[in-house]
Amino acid sequence: MTDFFKGIEPIRYEGPDSTNPMAFRHYDPDEMVLGKRLEDHLRFAVAWWHSFAWPGGDPFGGQTFERPWFGDTMDHSKMKADVAFEMFSILGQPFFCFHDADIRPEGDGFAGNTRNLEEMVDHIGTKMEEVGTKLLWGTANLFTNRRYMAGASTNPDPDVFAFAAATVKTCMDATHRLGGANYVLWGGREGYETLLNTDLGREDAQLGRFMNMVVEYKHRIGFEGTILIEPKPQEPTKHQYDYDVATVYGFLKRHGLEDEIRVNIEQGHAILAGHSFEHEIALAAALGIFGSIDMNRNDYQSGWDTDQFPNNAPEVTLAYYEILKAGGFTTGGTNFDAKLRRQSLDPEDLVAAHVGGMDVCARALKSAAKMLQDGELERLREARYAGWDTEQGRKLLAGEWGLDQIADYVRENEIDPEPRSGRQERLENLVNRFV
Amino acid sequence: MTDFFKGIEPIRYEGPDSTNPMAFRHYDPDEMVLGKRLEDHLRFAVAWWHSFAWPGGDPFGGQTFERPWFGDTMDHSKMKADVAFEMFSILGQPFFCFHDADIRPEGDGFAGNTRNLEEMVDHIGTKMEEVGTKLLWGTANLFTNRRYMAGASTNPDPDVFAFAAATVKTCMDATHRLGGANYVLWGGREGYETLLNTDLGREDAQLGRFMNMVVEYKHRIGFEGTILIEPKPQEPTKHQYDYDVATVYGFLKRHGLEDEIRVNIEQGHAILAGHSFEHEIALAAALGIFGSIDMNRNDYQSGWDTDQFPNNAPEVTLAYYEILKAGGFTTGGTNFDAKLRRQSLDPEDLVAAHVGGMDVCARALKSAAKMLQDGELERLREARYAGWDTEQGRKLLAGEWGLDQIADYVRENEIDPEPRSGRQERLENLVNRFV
Amino acid sequence: MTDFFKGIEPIRYEGPDSTNPMAFRHYDPDEMVLGKRLEDHLRFAVAWWHSFAWPGGDPFGGQTFERPWFGDTMDHSKMKADVAFEMFSILGQPFFCFHDADIRPEGDGFAGNTRNLEEMVDHIGTKMEEVGTKLLWGTANLFTNRRYMAGASTNPDPDVFAFAAATVKTCMDATHRLGGANYVLWGGREGYETLLNTDLGREDAQLGRFMNMVVEYKHRIGFEGTILIEPKPQEPTKHQYDYDVATVYGFLKRHGLEDEIRVNIEQGHAILAGHSFEHEIALAAALGIFGSIDMNRNDYQSGWDTDQFPNNAPEVTLAYYEILKAGGFTTGGTNFDAKLRRQSLDPEDLVAAHVGGMDVCARALKSAAKMLQDGELERLREARYAGWDTEQGRKLLAGEWGLDQIADYVRENEIDPEPRSGRQERLENLVNRFV
Amino acid sequence: MTDFFKGIEPIRYEGPDSTNPMAFRHYDPDEMVLGKRLEDHLRFAVAWWHSFAWPGGDPFGGQTFERPWFGDTMDHSKMKADVAFEMFSILGQPFFCFHDADIRPEGDGFAGNTRNLEEMVDHIGTKMEEVGTKLLWGTANLFTNRRYMAGASTNPDPDVFAFAAATVKTCMDATHRLGGANYVLWGGREGYETLLNTDLGREDAQLGRFMNMVVEYKHRIGFEGTILIEPKPQEPTKHQYDYDVATVYGFLKRHGLEDEIRVNIEQGHAILAGHSFEHEIALAAALGIFGSIDMNRNDYQSGWDTDQFPNNAPEVTLAYYEILKAGGFTTGGTNFDAKLRRQSLDPEDLVAAHVGGMDVCARALKSAAKMLQDGELERLREARYAGWDTEQGRKLLAGEWGLDQIADYVRENEIDPEPRSGRQERLENLVNRFV
Ligand SMILES: [Co+2]
Ligand SMILES: [Co+2]
Ligand SMILES: [Co+2]
Ligand SMILES: [Co+2]
Ligand SMILES: [Co+2]
Ligand SMILES: [Co+2]
Ligand SMILES: [Co+2]
Ligand SMILES: [Co+2]
């Protein structure tokens, strides 16, 4: 036991009227919702990087956090892991997520990195057994080290491609060994800074081969988790190839991967790409590639991907509504890819931020479940499309008629449709009954 | 002859030093560039809608233009056409583009619309022979009439789908009859205002069938032009299905249309979707679906799709550079999907705006051609990827090696790549030698 | 009685558990909050323009609403007024707001406009007595008519300045006669489309004189309401002079008006200027110029000023919190400067949109009041600045010390401050207890 | 002499046709423009921070640059200075700018910082004499150190205010001693992350007192340079108090500083605040507070303040046009507050970026000068406002007439102004003759 969280007791559910800032007011893991425990619906995960590895810098200022585990040695990494599991325990978070670079010190090249990673995987595996926390997903950090500055698999230098591939292999091994439910690829440097030095065709071919190797390797080692791509339109690069759900879908189709890879959708990335979070979830569900979510919130005002903890229950409700409508998570879950504001220096801030985030999500999922059970919203949606379920509606889509037959039909029957109200405000009012 | 442009002479090329505001300083149609006449490179088209049909309204103010041809009768439409061809003549624009609703008065339902359209097609066909202007593309306006307020092919009401399909049939017929080089579909209402009343799966199936019918009908009538989709992310709807080039590509793949349909890329729409114009062109070329462009400019400051005439030669140069690199236009061209500012009331404004736009494009294409002939930019780009053309580079992509073989290779050879400069500023300086 | 709202009963408060979509669940006008009736806190107003005059157009489509009162005659305007008061009655809205152009048909020049306005003021005055609805504010529409396309008071043509001044005089007279609590100036065309044809200095002098005349005239006629400027950064113009609260403050100071004019802050305009709504309110309060609010919501995704009805209770809570902290409204109120989505065709939509908006505001104001009564947020804020209330803190601000004395003090006392947590997440969690 | 720039010769002017990437094609310091040497017009300065102190990090990656002078000792700082002056020499840049933290190693508290600063000022003073480079401005870095994380003068802790004040004193001393032409204050942390913990009134009073002390101290020590505030709307904080030129003007008026402080306008900050660069310059000129510029360019696509080197000559032309129209720089100049892309690793990149930037500015200033000499743009602008120079126009502004007199005038004379073309496209074409 470190003493980092000294004085902070495990967080308990105390109900909506509690004024205890270190209690859950909405998240009772054992509450049954739509026939499933809340914990099993939400499948919360802590993100190792933001909570334990981020020093608090921004483009105009350096480190603000002073954590005893900041440092480059294996001992630092182990202390970091120990503190992490203490927090998982305090919060009762069932899962965590990591990049290799979060959990191990930087080694001497690939061999050193691998050695450090393996040793830390042992350490973490032991802690997982002790504490009972599971791994939602692992991933490789292919963006921080300067070797990746011009891309990982899409680098103009094939040696970087090779280094990245080798690194992903070790991270898939680590994830497999720790029983991860998914493996994620976020292509933070897979894109470009300037089109002037970029060959889009070559880089697409590189990325396509890379992803195919990931899928092949998954099958070779018998990893049964889901492979997930996390879309993001830009930042750090000016343009990233995994722009949004629709773009990733096109990439998967082009490279024959649409049945093998799904998406991990982050709220902040959806916003950054000009979409709502619920849009990206609904679209992925419609395309059959919905996997998991990174829960955070963007700053609408600045437009930046600020990775703040979610705090707006009505917005989060719409996201979980789409998830529940799509059948809920299978291997996926709710990963808090969220970081403290850099002024939030205290250990209490770190715990409280997660408490608040978990509570917002729990409240939102319960609202979404009630809205789904109520059924009015779905009844209204279906009623709107009812014409398509008539014989005439089906015929139009069936492929028998072409434009000219339809033109005859419209002319002969003097079809002249009258518009009907879209009822947006009434639907929004309906939602407000539940949030 | 109307007297709308009275006093405005045909525009002539007078060279860069001319101070005549009603002369071309860069656009000499007969100038040979990369072995082709400038006119044949640029393939300029006037957009009927902005230049002749738009009354000058904005969300806070009504009509500012008072044109003698504004009105609902066939005579008004014919006067509008006559003025249009007078302007084509003054400018020497080789092409024009139209929506059905631009060239005909609104009729009484589908039959009335069709009758009006056919009569105007006769009138315009005669003018085309007289003046020599050709049709770059035709299209159907499936967004202005209130019947389309909730979508055309993606409407929840199948009767609207039918009305839209019938209308597209008549517009394809009109385009075919006028010898159009392309037929365009812009789905201004194919999207949604609120996800709360929308079924993404149904609407995708509707849009997929619709586009397949368009392709089937093209082949049935022997139309040899290209079918083009014009991507736009939003506006008028909150989310449009043809978001950007990557999204359209995914849609085409999903519905088996990737060899049948190409894209018409608009500068303002590229910007609105978070891309540069040159990115969208380069991506479409890399995906094999580049078709044509709508030339205008967006307002970066407001973020709106303001459809202004282009005026920034360095930016436009980068767009034409990608077009030339992709082999130039085949059936496509440069359509000025650009409108006057609503305070630009005078006939002279309308002509001068096109003169300025044509000159910027001509200057830009010539700069792009010089840059391509110089070759330095492409040499530097290829040199950057040279490693991929080695035997080792090819092996990495060939499909023989998996992640584990690569990991062995990296470990055994202690691969530890050193980053190399991306040279962005030097490349930008190089571009500045040509613009 | 028209039959427009046939079948819609007056809206009643039925409490949070009501499932009646045409009932208030949070707005009970007589509920006492912080010692005042809820109605007297919120001071709701309907906006004549959006609710009764807007035809439903957008940049790509025309009118969708087909209202029996659409038309250019005095009879149309009177029917519009009658329907308006029927809706005020159904909703129990205590106030309304209008532009001259909303309530009267366009006349023949200034004299015609004035005659029409005066006749309608008579008609509306009678309705006000009958129904009991009061006037929150009146204003002049100086942006729709094409004569204002290049500005009203900031027009390069002094005749337009004169026409605008004369029009404002008649609108102030009308507002005075109807007992308006405020008079608003929104400078939709006071700005520019291009700096290339604009003289900022001249236009500032024009606007300054114009506003001084408004204040002088107010005093001359004994109007006791508040003069309000409504800031907006852009749209319809590319740049508007009343950009945001800070900019308006600078303008007022420059022209000696800071004690005479206050601001009417609109949510959508705050967002468009890169601020939060609560920021603009708090800033206006700090500068002593807070007046009234236009309640709506912007679309963060598109960035447009969509003037939607508010639906996010947590966000609206933060706005009312700042208002309550500043002492609540005096002459100001909550004007729904909000419009239906153009697909919301039914009379029921119009009523329901206001019901939903009023309920969101009522819920938000009650949450804000509880948060203020709880006091914890304010205690934490004050504690953060406690150092400034010490003797040393006061000395630093008192003006006795200069930079050199302070430098001596820092050196001698080896001042080296340790940063303290900003507690942002904990404060956000605290807020979430109340929303 | 270090060997950092080994092999790079002093940059010479070779004229527009030169293909030498390490030559000026437009910047000939001695060229006479409007009666002044080009060097004396542009007054270029290198920014110490970006060029010599920035390690190349971004939010997702660490240091990419590996400079021999990176380190914490005085020797490192001196080597950095030596390299800096070698670059000034290579480029022929007449000025430089610095923050204290750029030129000295971090010391042990205030006393240590001061000692290090003073020693470095000696070193730099010697280099200035040797090389002949002058100081455009100095400034204090009140944002990087974690002590400033919650603000400098606007910190809730008065000790931070004191530390900041003491630091500014030492930086003003240093600037004075090195003969600086200006002293700049950029309030990167003067703002807030969340309104929930912020007292706007208190922080405004703190900032007001702070700026007054700066002005008092300037006069006390006899510093004759100009005090400049650099506006920026956000980043690093969510909201910064010096939002834009209009906001700074209001602040200056409020605290009686409008005759003492001017603005240093940065292109990227103007864009971030929703303005064009030329707007901010023109506005500052109109308000009498224009001082100096930070030349760089923002990324319109991402919206971030990317501080790239300028490369778009037409845009830069509009900025210099406003500067020349306002009489040109007096104490101000063109500071390249621009940084390399993080992939631009080579010393050659650093020099070439400045060469390209200087050339773009030189080309732009010469275009602007020609446009001003041509005079047509100004003639058209004046003609547009000609009505205001008539007797009737003057009377409207003179203060004799009120709204009622004007109303009488409009009624009696049946004033009904006809709108005139704003000629935007023709003006843009006119500009394109010069760029
Ligand atoms: Co994420
Ligand atoms: Co993120
Ligand atoms: Co277009
Ligand atoms: Co457009
Ligand atoms: Co408003
Ligand atoms: Co608005
Ligand atoms: Co700067
Ligand atoms: Co900057």
DSSP tag of B243: -
Residues C55 and C107 in one domain: yes
pLDDT at A303: 82
pLDDT at C303: 82
pLDDT in tens, D271-319: 999 999 999 999 999 999 999 999 999 998 888 889 999 999 999 999 9
Residues D151 and D176 in one domain: yes
Subunits with 3+ Cβ pairs within 8 Å of B are: A, C, D
Residues D154 and D282 in one domain: yes
CA distance to A278, B89, C53, C357, D278, per residue, from C309 (Å): 20, 50, 17, 6, 36
pLDDT at A304: 85
Task: Report the CATH number at residue B284.
Answer: 3.20.20.150
Chain B residue numbers touching D274 (CB-CB < 8 A): 301
CA distance to B269, B351, C169, D419, per residue, from B344 (Å): 23, 11, 30, 10
Residues C252 and C331 in one domain: yes
Whose structure tokens read 């290579």? D90
Chain D residue numbers touching C166 (CB-CB < 8 A): 403, 406-407, 409-411, 415
Q: Choose the final residue of a domain: A332, A350, A374.
A: A374
D305 is in an annotated binding site: yes
pLDDT in tens, A61-119: 989 999 999 999 999 999 999 999 999 999 999 999 999 999 999 999 999 999 999 99
Q: In this model, does residue C1 exceed pLDDT 90?
A: no
B169 → closest Cβ in A197, A396, A407: A407
A249 → closest Cβ in B109, B169, B250: B250
B312 contacts D313? CB cut-off 8 A: no
Residues D101 and D149 in one domain: yes
Contact of B149 with chain A, judged by CB distance below 8 Å, is answered with yes
CA distance linking residue C404 with residue C412, whole number of Å: 12
* Residues within 8 A of D (CB atoms), B 275-294 only: 275-276
pLDDT at D276: 97
pLDDT in tens, A412-422: 999 999 999 99
Residues C423 and C324 in one domain: no
Chain D residue numbers touching B373 (CB-CB < 8 A): none
Residues C414 and C290 in one domain: no
pLDDT at B303: 82
pLDDT category of residue B304 using cuts at 50, 70 and 90: confident
What is the average per-residue pLDDT within D234-240?
A: 96
Amino acid code (one letter) for A55: P
Chain A residue numbers touching C352 (CB-CB < 8 A): 425-426, 429
Residues D303 and D410 in one domain: no
Q: In this model, does residue B301 exceed pLDDT 90?
A: no
Q: In this model, does residue C64 exceed pLDDT 90?
A: yes
pLDDT at A300: 87
Contact of C132 with chain A, judged by CB distance below 8 Å, is answered with no
B359 is in an annotated binding site: no
Q: Predicted ipTM? A: 0.98
Strand partners, A264: A292
pLDDT in tens, C146-161: 999 999 999 999 999 9
Query: Residue B15: inside a domain, yes or no?
Result: no
Query: Residue D53: inside a domain, yes or no?
Result: yes
pLDDT in tens, B19-66: 999 999 999 999 999 999 999 999 999 999 999 999 999 999 989 999
DSSP tag of B27: -
- Reduce the secondary structure of chain A to three states and give it as a string: CCCCCCCCCCCCECCCCCCCCCCECCCCCCCEECCEEHHHHHCEEEEHHHHHHCCCCECCECCCCCCCCCCCCHHHHHHHHHHHHHHHHHHCCCEEEEEHHHHCCCCCHHHHHHHHHHHHHHHHHHHHHHHCCEEEEEECCCCCCHHHCCCCCCCCCHHHHHHHHHHHHHHHHHHHHCCCCEEEECCCCCEECCHHHCCHHHHHHHHHHHHHHHHHHHHHHCCCCEEEECCCCCCCCCEECCCCHHHHHHHHHHCCCCCCEEEEEEHHHHHHCCCCHHHHHHHHHHHCCEEEEEECECCCCCCCCCCECCCCHHHHHHHHHHHHHCCCCCCCCEEECCCCCCCCCCHHHHHHHHHHHHHHHHHHHHHHHHHHHHCHHHHHHHHHCHHHHCHHHHHHHCCCCCHHHHHHHHHHHCCCCCCCCCCHHHHHHHHHCCC
Query: Residue B20: inside a domain, yes or no?
Result: no
Residues 6+ positions from D192 with CB-CB distance below 8 Å: D151, D198, D203, D237, D238, D239
Amino acid code (one letter) for A191: G
Search chain B and give the residue with CA nearest C186: B60
Query: Residue A3: inside a domain, yes or no?
Result: no
Query: Residue A24: inside a domain, yes or no?
Result: no
Closest CA to C273 of A299, A272, A276, D272: D272
A429 contacts C352? CB cut-off 8 A: yes
pLDDT at C165: 98
| C239 min Cα distance to partner chain B (Å) | 9
pLDDT category of residue D1 using cuts at 50, 70 and 90: confident
Residues B319 and B423 in one domain: no
Contact of D346 with chain B, judged by CB distance below 8 Å, is answered with yes
What is the average per-residue pLDDT within D349-365?
A: 98
Residues B123 and B147 in one domain: yes
DSSP tag of B216: H
Contact of A21 with chain C, judged by CB distance below 8 Å, is answered with yes
Q: In this model, does residue A15 exceed pLDDT 90?
A: yes
C-alpha distance across the termini of chain B, in Å: 40
Contact of B315 with chain D, judged by CB distance below 8 Å, is answered with yes
Q: Are B103 and B143 in contact (CB under 8 A)?
A: no
| A305 min Cα distance to partner chain B (Å) | 15
Structure tokens belonging to residue D39: 């060097």
Chain D residue numbers touching A303 (CB-CB < 8 A): 303
| D208 min Cα distance to partner chain C (Å) | 9
B307 is in an annotated binding site: yes
Active site residue C99: yes
pLDDT in tens, D388-431: 999 999 999 999 999 999 999 999 999 999 999 999 999 999 99
Active-site position among C99, C176, C279, C354? C99
pLDDT category of residue A301 using cuts at 50, 70 and 90: confident
CA distance to C105, C398, D199, D212, D247, per residue, from D205 (Å): 50, 10, 10, 11, 15
pLDDT at D304: 84
CA distance linking residue A364 with residue C348, whole number of Å: 29
Lowest mean pLDDT among A299-313, B147-161, D73-87: A299-313
Chain C residue numbers touching D256 (CB-CB < 8 A): none
Query: Residue C1: inside a domain, yes or no?
Result: no
pLDDT category of residue A138 using cuts at 50, 70 and 90: very high
Query: Residue D23: inside a domain, yes or no?
Result: no
pLDDT in tens, C120-135: 999 999 999 999 999 9
Query: Residue A23: inside a domain, yes or no?
Result: no
What is the average per-residue pLDDT within C301-309?
A: 90
Longest dimension (CA), chain A: 82
Mean pLDDT of chain A: 97
Ion ligand 3: residue ranges with CB closer than 5 A: B 266, 294, 337
Residues A341 and A419 in one domain: no
Contact of A147 with chain B, judged by CB distance below 8 Å, is answered with yes
Residue-range definition of the domain harbouring residue A72: 32-374
B269 is in an annotated binding site: yes
Best residue in D54, D64, D70, D146 for a mutation probing chain A (most A CBs within 10 Å): D146
The Å distance, Cα C298 to ligand 6 centre, comes to 8
Mean pLDDT of chain B: 97
Q: Are A226 and A262 in contact (CB under 8 A)?
A: yes
- The total number of structural domains in chain D stands at 2
Best residue in A54, A141, A146 for a mutation probing chain D (most D CBs within 10 Å): A146
Contact of C211 with chain D, judged by CB distance below 8 Å, is answered with no
Residues A299 and A425 in one domain: no
pLDDT category of residue C357 using cuts at 50, 70 and 90: very high
Best residue in D154, D302, D345 for a mutation probing chain A (most A CBs within 10 Å): D302
